[in-house]
Structure 1
Amino acid sequence: MSELSPRVNSAILPRFIGHMVRIPCKVLTTTDSTVTVQTSDGGEVLVKYSGDHGISTSYAEIIGQVIDQTTVKKAAVINLQSELDLQMVDRVIKSIHDPRFFSTIFS
């Protein structure tokens, strides 16, 4: 079975160091090797990449491996619509990671 990649926000990200995650986010800035994104809870995460970052919209879902508490190494990008209600996304992420539901969803 391949590794699961749960959706996370910046507060939950540190729990997944070394693992693959999905980060629904708003793109803030880009450089030649990094993208800074705003997560659903308003935090900022640095996304490292090589080659093309692949982001073509203001909102995206970054799939990548967590390097440390605020950094992810990009594996893939899913471009999302031009508008995304990050507050609603954050409520869903918090529900998913609620101890009452997490093991049921990811077991």
Structure 2
Amino acid sequence: MSEISPRVNSAILPRFIGQIVRIPCKILTTTENTVTVQTSDGGEILVKFTGDSGITTTFVEIIGHVVDATTVRKAGVINLKSDLDLQVADKVIKLIHDPRFFSTIFS
């Protein structure tokens, strides 16, 4: 299952400690080597990176390794258009992680 990177929100993130995930989100603040983002469910997480963040838009999908319940180490970033609807993204994430569908989607 190491090649699978499911999309998650802040509530689901703790289930994937030690794994790679995708987080559709909005950039809130940026420092030299961290970014604070708002996830699709309105939570906030810290994304750590080295070098250039690669972030050029307000809405991005972070691909990264989950360090703990609120921290991700960035492996990649996909810059998204400015009209991303995080509420719709969150509905999709919740549907994907519904026990009725998760094993079908990720098996």
Q: TM-score range by the shorter chain?
A: over 0.9
Paired residues in the alignment total 107
Counterpart residue number, 1:81: 81
Tell me the TM-score normalised to structure 1 length: 0.98
Report the Cα offset of residue 82 of structure 1: 1.1
Tell me, in whole angstroms, the C-alpha distance in 2 between the residues paired with 1:35 and 1:60. 11
**Letter of the 2:30 counterpart:** T
**Letter of the 1:57 counterpart:** T
Counterpart residue number, 2:22: 22
- Give 5+ residue unaligned stretches, structure 2: none
Tell me the TM-score normalised to structure 2 length: 0.98
1:70-101 Cα deviation digits (max 9, x unpaired): 00000000000012110000000000000000
RMSD over aligned Cα atoms? 0.9
- Give 5+ residue unaligned stretches, structure 1: none
Tell me, in whole angstroms, the C-alpha distance in 2 between the residues paired with 1:62 and 1:14. 16
Counterpart residue number, 1:60: 60
Poorly superposed stretches of 4+, deviation over 2 Å:
none
Report the Cα offset of residue 2 of structure 1: 5.4
Give aligned-pair identity as a percent.
77
